[in-house]
Structure 1
Amino acid sequence: MAIAAGPASAATSSVDLPEGMTASYLVVDQETGRTFGDGEHQQYRSASLVKLFIALDYLESHGPDHEIPADDLALLEPMLRSSNDDAASTLWVRDGWDEIVKRMVTKLGLTDTAPPAARGKWGYTAISAADIAKTYQYILHEANPKYRDFIMGNLAQSAKCGSDGFDQSFGLPSAVPGPKAVKQGWSGYGAAPAPGEECSETDADVLRVLRSPEVKAATAVASSGEGPTGAQDIDLTSRAMHTSGTVGADHGKIVVVLTLEPATLSWQDSAGRITELTRAVYRRGAL
């Protein structure tokens, strides 16, 4: 199913933004084809939303008959559920670095997505709300059902705590009631939360794999992108916070909200602002 467009199917009135926030968003009603969005083709750095591409590329490259080894599950599951960066770096390096993004652009027909200028910084992949919505549509309607069930099943188990200690319950998890499958992203807030704001969950088997030599070698050369990099035509300075996923037991609505915030804004303030924006966007998109 393609994203519906045009005056007859798309609501275009924008939602008011908090001062200093840049945002783009898109809601797709998969039953009616109706969309509600603003700035949906504007490019942002992906932060952890690129993990959708990494997971889908892994599955597509191995084929539907591939039984995922336990050690690979210990990378894929925390990457999707708790946004584990070390797992993403390992699969990024193993499966071809920026070639992952290039393959997904071609396969899914993405128009605004591009690899990072520095190939090791996967979190600086350029994306748009429209391309992330199209990615969900591909997973739900065109990908092999095994890939759909694996990715969406893990996103439905999105953890409250990110692997880096940040609380990733902002946006969709807090703003919208009912069943959800969610992938979050953030960048520019540092390597760890401020003291007293830590959110932590651990899994012994995941920790074992993430201490492996392969993971250590990969994380030495690849990362989410925090820190200096070469020139790129997207904002790498502002703080980025994104929420994306589906709402409803049948994944009836796709919601993508991408935001940039001033570097002075705290995690908690950013989380509150994107949650309120997501609530407003979802309500408008549901009309």
Structure 2
Amino acid sequence: MLALAATALCLGGGVAPTASADPARARSVEVPAGVTAAVAVFDRQTGTFTEQLDTTRQFRAASVVKLLIALDHLWNRGPSYDIPSADRTRLDAMLRSSDDDAATHYWVHNGQGAVIDRMVARLGLTDTAKPPATHPGYWGYTALTAADTVRIYRYLLDDAPAAVRDYVMGNLRQSTRCGTDGFDQHFGVAGAFDRPWAVKQGWSGFASGDCTASASAAGATGSATGAPRTEGAAAVDLVREALHTTGTVGAGDRSIVAVLTLHPDGTPYGKAFTDVGRLVRSLDVPGGTRPAGTWFGTWGSGVRVRALPTTASDTLTTLPAGVEVLVRCQKRGQEVSVPPYTNDWWAYLPQYGGYVTNIHISSPGNQLPSVPAC
């Protein structure tokens, strides 16, 4: 059933659970050890920032640049413009599932770096730049900052033609669990808050995401995940693993959130996923509602989320190895053995809509402490 990690944690030696944060408490940005981060949270209701950290530091944009690629393609189409079906299919996949082939299609068709030059001028971006001359085809190497990311969303929400705003934001609200390249993209904003939210995420440099409900599209020309990792090609770091979460949170898209991060070279996806989640949960995000439950670490690779607490039920998805998950409740189900452990308790993960055996939750004992029965 499961492909276990060679260095799996013993059941009694796991990470202690982290209770869901109290939304009323005072917050400050908590950057996990080893992570380089830039953060901007803008409250559209008050017109003020509630969080700012290194907002003008440049990162390689990875798939967040797909916002600019989409806006450039839709620029000056007019209020009555009817997106052709072929374009709609590509754009939907690019915005919802972060499809790399679709991004490459528009990048090449619309002039590669000229896309960025045009959008910098149109939106008044101050620290965004096209990929270095050594890598003109790699759209994921576009330089981007947290401050400019907020400017992009403010244009989209406040100044873009209504048809463009509704189309792009509508797609971001329908973000799929798995990207087309097999990475679970519901980290950060999508994991820290209940809907309504809209997200465009970015990742670059990771070996595997293990999200099972997708077809692989890795390695496309210019892709954020498949591009060669060349040191010294530009001032922007092209080596360390990048994981970005951006979007809006709350009714009426009240808050714009931009979190750009770099992780030590070789960091597994599940570890970066968890660190970004912890960082985002530390932020003051007006209008955001935090999901009920308790956060726990997991161990093992290939850990499946099941529709019911039994191995015979449908597999909904596969967790990134070692990722932290939110548990709402637990119940008895099929007894599962993963030597030397046996357990018939299963944890319900509300953000996945299914169950995992408690064997793979990092906590002592068969039952999880302080977690109610379902």
* TM-score of the aligned structures, taking structure 2 as reference length: 0.65
Deviation at 1:113, TM superposition (A): 0.1
Q: Deviations over 1:148-207 (max 9, x none)?
A: 0010000000111100011111101111123001000000103x43xxx333246xxxx9
Instruction: Report SS of the residue matched to 1:236.
Output: coil
Q: Do the aligned residues in 2 keep the contact of 1:14 with 1:37 (CA within 8 Å)?
A: no
- Residue identity matched to 2:41: V
Deviation at 1:96, TM superposition (A): 1.2
CA distance in 1, matches of 2:45, 2:246: 18
How much identity, in percent, do the aligned residues show?
45
Structure 1, unmatched stretches of 5+, are 1-12, 211-218
Instruction: Report SS of the residue matched to 2:253.
Output: coil
Deviation at 1:56, TM superposition (A): 0.5
CA distance in 2, matches of 1:31, 1:272: 30
- Structure of greater relative contact order (alpha carbons < 8 Å, 6+ residues apart): 1
- Select which of 80, 90, 94 maps to 2:105: 90
Q: What's the counterpart of residue 307 of structure 2?
A: none
CA distance in 2, matches of 1:222, 1:62: 26
Q: What's the counterpart of residue 129 of structure 1?
A: 146
Higher relative helix content = 1
Deviation at 1:226, TM superposition (A): 1.9
CA distance in 1, matches of 2:205, 2:214: 22
Higher relative strand content = 2
2:164 corresponds to 1:147: yes
Q: Deviations over 1:63-108 (max 9, x none)?
A: 3332111111111001000100000000111111111101110000
Q: What's the counterpart of residue 45 of structure 2?
A: 31
- Residue identity matched to 2:189: L
CA distance in 2, matches of 1:16, 1:141: 30
Q: What's the counterpart of residue 155 of structure 2?
A: 138
Alignment of 1:1-287 (within 5 A): 15-35=29-49, 36-117=51-132, 118-190=135-207, 192-193=208-209, 197-201=210-214, 219=220, 221-224=221-224, 226-229=227-230, 231-283=233-285
Which structure has the larger Rg over C-alpha atoms?
A: 2
Q: Deviations over 1:211-254 (max 9, x none)?
A: xxxxxxxx5x5333620457211111110000000012300110
* Bigger Cα displacement from structure 2, 56-65 vs 180-189: 56-65
CA distance in 1, matches of 2:154, 2:285: 21
CA distance in 2, matches of 1:228, 1:34: 37
Q: Deviations over 1:19-65 (max 9, x none)?
A: 11000101000010120211011100000000000011111143333
- Residue identity matched to 1:161: C
CA root-mean-square deviation: 2.1
Deviation at 1:140, TM superposition (A): 0.5
CA distance in 2, matches of 1:90, 1:248: 33
- Residue identity matched to 1:157: Q
Q: Do the aligned residues in 1 keep the contact of 2:99 with 2:181 (CA within 8 Å)?
A: yes
Q: Do the aligned residues in 2 keep the contact of 1:45 with 1:127 (CA within 8 Å)?
A: yes
- Residue identity matched to 2:199: V
CA distance in 2, matches of 1:149, 1:16: 33
Structure 2, unmatched stretches of 5+, are 1-26, 289-374
- Residue identity matched to 2:97: S
Instruction: Report SS of the residue matched to 2:202.
Output: strand
Residues paired across the two proteins, number: 256
- Residue identity matched to 1:89: T
Q: Do the aligned residues in 1 keep the contact of 2:242 with 2:263 (CA within 8 Å)?
A: yes
CA distance in 2, matches of 1:284, 1:277: 16
Q: What's the counterpart of residue 3 of structure 1?
A: none
CA distance in 2, matches of 1:64, 1:283: 33
CA distance in 2, matches of 1:144, 1:83: 23
Instruction: Report SS of the residue matched to 2:174.
Output: coil
